[in-house]
Amino acid sequence: MKIARFSRLGFILAAAGSAVGLGNIWKFPYITGIYGGGAFVLIYLFTVLLIGFSVMIAEMLIGYMGRKDGVTSFEELAPKHSGMWKFGGFQGLAGLFIMTFYSVVIGWIFHYIATSIFYLPSSAKEAENVFTTMLHTGFTTQLFYHTVAFVWITYVVNKGIKGGIEKMNMILMPSLVIILSAMFVYATTLDTFSKAVDFMFLPDWSKINSEAFVTAVGHAFFTLSLGMGAIMTYSASLPKDANIVKNTLWVVFLDTTIAIVAGLMLFTFLYQYGAGPAKGPGLVFISLPAAFYEMGVLGNIFAVLFFIALAFAGLTSSVSLVEPMVQYFIDRSGWSRLKASVSMGLFFYLIGIIVILSNIDGYKEFLTWGGKNLFDWIDFTTAAIMLPFGGLIMAIFVGFVIDKKKVESIMRPQLKFAFDIWYFSLRYIVPVSMFVVMLNLMGII
């Protein structure tokens, strides 16, 4: 069967669309808030450069060389023990697990798009009430919008790489950039903009502990869509003459810039209109709407636009979280795309319903263990464990398992002198860092 290939721009937008997601606009600002700003941002940027960059090139290379679904690519590229290495491709399951809560959050965003035009809460207290009421009692609302997200995502994935994923990214990504740029420009005119710059760039090391460190590393993986085969699956459809390094540079650049721009903009609004930074996962759902209220009618417009941009970011990432396993069932089990898309969709949709319940009064008590509910557990295990583990496997696979000559023949012409640095980083820096992260998680250091 002939695979439809991305166009050049189509690939960059789709890969950037995967990377730029709720992680950039929702999660990055709130974890930056929790861990005190500048120092955390610095660790994150450092991880992106030192580890994220190398792993993304490695992941793209596996897809590019393998040209198949993740499992088959691992299997065919491994010179021996291919039966074991193919499990590297099952990291795609992590994507479906991420989707179980990702789709729920996209649902909240849809709900906010629908309500923000006529109503914004007039104080932080009220905003908190609105959000927690939805979270703890609004089962039907959340279920309804989760269903909308499921239908939308499944529809696009079913249309395939070219007619679905590329097409959606070609429209939604530029729209997102335009919306965020416009709001960012407005933010730069406010007095508190410089305060936001200070918060995000002046390091305050007092809030940095090992937890902050692990969160920063996990987030670097999450935000760049690394470690589960999304980038790998997309790059199986790269044009033959594609330059992996240039593509990686674009994706890392767009992802990082959009996270920083979103962060600066949000903190400016929060300083200017009251609420201050550290508010946790409710940041964009609680503090921000209250800040928008203070802006008057412009606030209503901004609120709707902001949530539309956030939904776009989420949807373009979602399709990349589902596609690896869809591709697997098409390639390996001979399923039709329709059957594969609907089955994978139902998988995250149905578990997603339990994830919603894990926040609902009367149910959450049964879905909480060790202080974390199902929602938090899935978020934590995927971002902090499965993704770094996947990244580790990919780094070792390219660094030690695939024949160095083959890797070098593709990558040396693109990386030039930096080839040796990259290869060294894959072999030693990435594995050691991932090892430290894991030891830390197990409470050993």
Chain residues in the site for ligand TRP (CB under 6 A):
18-19, 21-24, 95, 98, 222-223, 225, 228, 230, 317, 320-321, 387
In whole angstroms, give the CA distance from residue 70 to residue 194.
45
Please say which residue, 14 or 330, places its beta carbon nearer to ligand TRP.
14
CB 274 → ligand TRP: shortest distance, Å? 27
DSSP string, 95-121: HHHHHHHHHHHHHHHHHHHHHHTT---
CB 222 → ligand TRP: shortest distance, Å? 5
Contact of 341 with 157, CB cutoff 8 Å: yes
Please say which residue, 121 or 391, places its beta carbon nearer to ligand TRP.
391
CB 108 → ligand TRP: shortest distance, Å? 14
Please say which residue, 130 or 384, places its beta carbon nearer to ligand TRP.
384
CB 381 → ligand TRP: shortest distance, Å? 13
In whole angstroms, give the CA distance from residue 320 to residue 338.
16
CB 323 → ligand TRP: shortest distance, Å? 9
CB 431 → ligand TRP: shortest distance, Å? 19
DSSP strands (E only) in 288-375: 368-369, 372-373
Please say which residue, 265 or 367, places its beta carbon nearer to ligand TRP.
265
Q: Which residues on adjacent β-strands are paired with residue 369?
A: 372
Backbone angles phi and psi of 338, in degrees to 5? -60, -50
Q: Which residues on adjacent β-strands are paired with residue 368?
A: 373
| Sequence-distant (≥ 6) Cβ neighbours of residue 184 within 8 angstroms | 261, 264, 265
In whole angstroms, give the CA distance from residue 89 to residue 76.
11
| Sequence-distant (≥ 6) Cβ neighbours of residue 1 within 8 angstroms | none
- 368-369 and 372-373 strand pairing: antiparallel
In whole angstroms, give the CA distance from residue 351 to residue 301.
34
Please say which residue, 222 or 375, places its beta carbon nearer to ligand TRP.
222
CB 161 → ligand TRP: shortest distance, Å? 15
Please say which residue, 19 or 342, places its beta carbon nearer to ligand TRP.
19
Please say which residue, 113 or 321, places its beta carbon nearer to ligand TRP.
321
